[in-house]
Chains A and B, each alone.
Chain A
Amino acid sequence: MDDIKKYTIGALVSNRSGVLTRISGLFARRGYNIESLTVCATEDPALSRMTIILKGDEYMLYQMIRQMDKLEDVKKIGCANELDCVYRELMLVKVKAGAAERNQIVQIAEIYKAKVVDLSKDSMVLEITGDPEKLDAFVAVVEPYGILEMQRTGVTVLARGTHTLKDRDCYGDHVN
């Protein structure tokens, strides 16, 4: 097996019930290791966009893209080139925060450009957006205060510049 890496795959899929089942079923049955999967609306109401982070080797990446491409509901698919893309993820974190810790946490939040979206006697909810590494770093810093619960949306990705997934005629040279 080749080196295990993280790959980001973008796919435009029909916005219909059952599509997610078809795709997640495919991953399960072929044994692909998915780290995150997001589905969201796009500028075209007929299409949804999926962003999938695959943990695997090149063999798995190629197989996954090609197998997904065979599904009728997958209209376009491509592997994102890390350097040419903007990655964003949103996270909500509920941190244990009594009166004594509150100020310190607010300071940390300012440095990371996180927002306080809820405050109670013993806790705080923080909202932060950024690339996954920034979110990881933020978690590491607030963790000592005690994380009560947190949620990450998963990664969404867009290519820089004018080109779009829709315009790509194929998966990109490195795959085809």
Chain B
Amino acid sequence: MMKLKGAEILINCLLEQGVDTIFGYPGGTVLDIYDALYRNGKIKHILTAHEQGAAHAADGYARATGKVGVCFATSGPGATNLVTGIATAFMDSVPMVAITGNVGLNMLGRDSFQEIDIAGITIPITKHNYIVKDVSELADVIRQAFYIANSGRKGPVLIDILKNVQIAECEYEPQKPYALKSFDIDAEKVRRTAEIINAAAKPVIIAGGGVISAGASPYLKELAAKLNAPVAYTLMGKGAISDRDPLCIGMLGMHGTFTAAKAIMASDTIIALGSRFSDRVALNRDLFANGKKVIHIDIDNAEFDKNVKTTVRVLASVDRYIKEVLPLLAPKSGEWMDEVQTFEEGEKLKVDTSIMAYKILKKACAAAPKDSPVVADVGQHQMWAAQFYSAERPRQFLTSGGLGTMGYSMGGAIGAHFGTGKLVTVVVGDGCFNMNMNELSTAVTNDVPLVILLMNNSVLGMVRQWQKIFYERRFSQTTLNKKTDYVKFAESFGARGLRINSEEDIDGVLAEAYTYAEKNSAPVLVDCIISRDENVLPMIKPGQTYDTQLEKMED
């Protein structure tokens, strides 16, 4: 037992949890916390340009490593700047602990300078949150917060620590992190799923983000191999199975592959693993699984029957379920997979390999260090990255799926680098980049090796694509026409700037970019000039069924 100040207890509790890196931004109500951090000296702190960048970095760190990401911000605007980052993590079930300071108890509720009810604001976007008013509660609150963030369906937790709590002293005794509880799995339901799977002639596996959260990729591979069943992944599930695996049929959903769409249509049984049938996957929730058996495995009870009606549901983590069900399954022949292969042959003719996005991303994927993380922002380039940039392993492909946060990638990539120590590829549009390009300075200052592929089409491409389809080409506010010279911009920030103007530049520039970034441990921005009329295809319109996949678009 020792007597410590609240701020010191916080730092000690973070060390208990194995925290090695924090992303944040100091301010008036966290001065004591930053002082304790400074004096302790054991935790690396990355100062971002903006608190939103810190929240995305904590999220990127968590997605890339599976550990809980941590960010700090001061009260008031510091705290509200975290909100988009916390919501991003919440929608994609990313474990995160956000710590904010707030004014002291004697100032609370008086609309003091930089006072804001951040706990109230973040109720709908956190798993749980706390306002710590008494130093005696602090240590346990931090331990609980980490437990909640990392257990069950993972997600963000916010702790708002009043200034007086940071200063007050209290007895502190180190503790081990709470052990994660394992809960019972319903063996009868597992048996029923096995019966359905054994009777299925054409099962399709949907791998969602839950496969990655549960670390279930090796089991998924085993399951797919035993069933000889095709595996389609959702955007959040990209990397759950290697894109090069012969049983992998690519992404499922609005911009999913032709093969995955055909396979879903032809299947008789859907095995959804850690996936929530979002509207971007199920599209038409009533017709998606029409007449098919649906087996739904999820760790969140509230996901069952929320969007798509299931035949049997099992409440379990994906790894646990597969371990239980595998011995009950009979191996299947390759007949169904042979049929799926014919869809793949058909697909090869349909992919538009003429667009620059395809050429650049395919080559970037080959040029990037093996297994290095790639962070995609939100929009057309995100879908192209999901379609063309192969992921070999879980936690390699990171993107904001549920919330669709434009501006995620720079912070996310900085976090992914500090989590893995690896070079990170960023795929970002010019719209997104303009939202959080300030974090390029963070990458420069902290020697973060990034290759930023700025897919520069001078428009908000995805919105423009929708305006083409649904609004008779009335391009309301989607033409950016900025005069920004991104190469000069990068250089002025102290980063390297390169440009791809045409197809001939791709190989040379990419080679230079990756070599430079790796050798100098520094960010390189590659301004990739692409046409404003490259589209993301195929596409299924919202609410439509999988047989209405659009393969071409009039320009």
Contact = CB atoms under 8 A, between A and B. Distances in A.
Interface of A: 18, 21-22, 25-26, 29, 59, 62-63, 66-67, 69-73, 176
Interface of B: 119-120, 123-124, 127-128, 131, 148, 153, 300-302, 304-306
A59 B128 CA distance: 25
Contact of A69 (B120, B127, B302): B302
A69 to B, nearest CB: 7
B124 to A, nearest CB: 6
B306 A63 contact: yes
A63 B302 contact: yes
Q: Which of B120, B131, B153, B302 has the most CB of A within 10 A?
A: B302
Contacts of A29: 124
Nearest to B131: A18
A72 B148 CA distance: 8
Q: Which of A25, A59, A70, A71 has the most CB of B within 10 A?
A: A70
Contacts of A70: 127, 153, 300-302
B123 A21 contact: yes
A25 B302 contact: no
Contacts of A66: 301-302, 304
Contacts of B306: 63
Nearest to A170: B301
A67 B302 contact: yes
Contact of B127 (A21, A25, A26, A72): A72
B260 to A, nearest CB: 28
B537 to A, nearest CB: 34
A69 B123 contact: no
Given A18-B131, A25-B124, A69-B301, 10 more contacts: A25-B123, A26-B124, A29-B124, A66-B302, A66-B304, A67-B302, A69-B302, A70-B127, A70-B302, A72-B148
Contacts of B128: 71-73
A72 B157 CA distance: 11
Please provide the 6 A-B residue pairs with the shortest distance between their CB atoms, ordered closest to farther.
A66-B302, A72-B128, A66-B301, A67-B302, A22-B123, A25-B123
B18 to A, nearest CB: 22
A176 B183 CA distance: 15
Contact of B120 (A21, A59, A71, A72): A21
Nearest to B186: A176
B136 to A, nearest CB: 16
Nearest to B309: A59
Contacts of B120: 18, 21
Contacts of B153: 70
B93 to A, nearest CB: 12
A80 to B, nearest CB: 19
A25 B128 CA distance: 13
Contact of A59 (B123, B124, B300, B305): B305
Nearest to B304: A66
Contacts of A59: 305
Contact of A62 (B124, B127, B148, B305): B305
A46 to B, nearest CB: 14
Contacts of B305: 59, 62
Contacts of B302: 63, 66-67, 69-70
25 contacts: A18-B119, A18-B120, A21-B120, A21-B123, A22-B123, A25-B123, A25-B124, A26-B124, A29-B124, A59-B305, A63-B302, A63-B306, A66-B301, A66-B302, A66-B304, A67-B302, A69-B301, A69-B302, A70-B300, A70-B302, A71-B128, A72-B127, A72-B128, A72-B148, A73-B128
Nearest to A69: B301
A59 B131 CA distance: 34
Contacts of A25: 123-124
A25 B121 CA distance: 11
Nearest to B144: A72
Nearest to A64: B302
Contacts of A26: 124
A73 B127 CA distance: 11
A127 to B, nearest CB: 37
Contacts of B301: 66, 69-70, 176
